Structure formats: C-alpha cells, structure tokens
Amino acid sequence: MARIFVVANQKGGVGKTTTTVNLAAALVRHGKRVLLVDLDPQGNATMGSGIDKRSLERSVYHVLIGQADIAQTAQQSPSGGYSVLPANRELAGAEVELVDLDDRETRLKQALAQVDADYDFVLVDCPPSLSMLTLNGFCAAHGVIIPMQCEYYALEGLSDLVNTIKKVHANFNADLTIIGLLRVMFDPRMTLSQQVSAQLEQHFGDKVFRSLIPRNVRLAEAPSYGQPGVVFDPSSKGAKAYLEFGAELIERLGKPS
C-alpha cells in the first residue's frame, strides 16, 4: 500500500516544492517507488523534476475532472527517477470546474486508489492556499508534512493550518494526521532561527522532525537545471539534509505512533 503525504503550508515561498521534489528524489535513493503529484498551477514541482509544463498533453487537471487516469498521465522525471503527475496553469480552472462535480473533494483520492500498488510513496505538492486543490490533497492523504521557516511570522499561520487539518480529519478523512513539521531554510547563526525552532519543539514535541534543512544555494540553483538538489549536487549540505530527512521519515513510519 502506498503511503500518501501532502506537503502543505498556505504561506507562499516556504519551501513546499523544494521539499516535495527533494524528498521524492531522496526516497528513490533509499530504494522506494515514488509518485510526485503536482497540485499547484504554478507547475514548479513539474519543472523542477525536469518536465516541461508548457508541453503537457495531459496533466493532473485532466485527472481531477475525470478525463484521464493517472497511469495515462504520469511521466517519469528524467533527473529524479520518480514518477510525476504534472501540472500547469490549466489546473487553475479545476478550482472552478470542480465545484459542479460530484465528490469534488475526493477526486484525487479516487484516482490514486487505482495506482496504489505501483508506489511505496505518493508525495503531493500543494499550492500556497487552503483551496479546493489543497482539500483534494488532504482528502487523499494519510498525513501532512509541514515545511516551516523559523522566522517570526511562521507560527502565525500555523494555527489556521492545524485547524483546517482538524476539520478535514473530522469531516472527510479520519486517516489524516500531521506527520511532522520540517524546519527549512534554517540558518543556525541567527538567534531568531534558534528561538523559533525551540518554540516549535516546545509546542509540537516529537512532531518536529530531527532533520534540519539548512539554507543552501545549491538547492535554489537546482530547479533551473530541471533537477532535484539531491541529484544536482549530492555532496551539498542541502542535498545531504534531504537524504537524511528521507531516512528519518522511513524510520518514523516503522515505529508505532
């Protein structure tokens, strides 16, 4: 059975896509079969996996509105070694079109059920909003991975996100839990980073992953080469941190929660 995780945070630019793409590549390095679902009309995870969003015949949009299935639509990331259900700006239309369709929250869940045996992990990259697209991610998933920057405003949006996850848990998907909070773009020289990081540990305890993703320019450069940082420069600090994070996630799933 595939473990399905959404990478979500309604704040923009906090490292969701970088985390999804690099975790996917890291899990492949750890011998796992991975499908990355790009649920963001920006298509950054698609491009960062080396797939051109401008020349897609089919995309996750067609899957959500019932015009294609995942097996017909997914492509292999040439650089990352995982499958990608790609997205482009066409997906923005799904937000509106889904409103009139039956089971609009569970479209992705139903589509993923058909490929459940083909993957060990499905990772869903969400847009920076708590929209119908993100809701489809939450309804399909077993858990949420929340990337967080350790800065003053980071904690502010977190309660909205946690409340949304609780509502989805209560109304749509009793399986949904927070798998963990991942500290990203971490700068250990900043006192503020240390303070916010300590606050997170106080509030969320074990839910904070041990792995810390440092701010690392190689991770930021990799997408312009259509590669995950883990592949682009495996010896960089950022790549090593994501590989370690992949191992921690696998270890965590092995333990009873």
Member of 46, 49, 73, 216 binding ligand ATP (CB under 6 A):
216
The entry of ligand ATP, Mg ion, none near residue 14 (CB within 5 to 8 angstroms by kind) is ligand ATP
| CA–CA dist 18, 147 (Å, integer) | 10
The partner residues of 147 in beta bridges, in order of sequence, read: 182
Q: Does 200 contact ligand ATP by CB under 6 A?
A: no
Q: Does 22 contact Mg ion by CB under 5 A?
A: no
Q: Does 78 contact ligand ATP by CB under 6 A?
A: no
Q: Does 94 contact ligand ATP by CB under 6 A?
A: no
What's the token pair of residue 46? 């698609």
Tell me the CA distances in angstroms from 170 to 69, 84, 229, one per residue in order: 28, 30, 37
Member of 40, 59, 179, 208 binding ligand ATP (CB under 6 A):
40
The torsion angle over the Cα atoms of residues 25, 31, 35 and 36, rounded to 10 degrees, is -20
- Beta carbons of 46 and 84 less than 8 angstroms apart: yes
What's the token pair of residue 87? 């997205």
CB of 18 to ligand ATP, least distance (A): 3
The partner residues of 181 in beta bridges, in order of sequence, read: 146, 208
Q: Which of residues 124-183 bind ligand ATP (CB under 6 A)?
A: 128
Q: Does 16 contact Mg ion by CB under 5 A?
A: yes
Q: How many CB atoms lie within 10 A of CB 235?
A: 7
CB of 51 to ligand ATP, least distance (A): 16
The residue number with the shortest CB distance to Mg ion is 17
Name every residue whose Cβ is closer than 8 Å to that of residue 215 and which is 6 or more positions away in sequence.
185, 186, 187
- Region binding ligand ATP by CB under 6 A among candidate stretches 13-21, 51-59, 93-101, 116-124: 13-21
Q: Does 185 contact ligand ATP by CB under 6 A?
A: yes
Q: Does 17 contact Mg ion by CB under 5 A?
A: yes
* Of 9, 252, 254, the residue nearest 124 (C-alpha): 9
| CA–CA dist 122, 174 (Å, integer) | 18
Member of 2, 3, 5, 17 binding ligand ATP (CB under 6 A):
17
Q: Does 16 contact ligand ATP by CB under 6 A?
A: yes
SS3 6: strand
The entry of Mg ion, ligand ATP, none near residue 180 (CB within 5 to 8 angstroms by kind) is none
Binding site for ligand ATP (CB under 6 A): 12-18, 40, 42, 44, 128, 184-185, 213, 215-216, 219-220, 223, 238
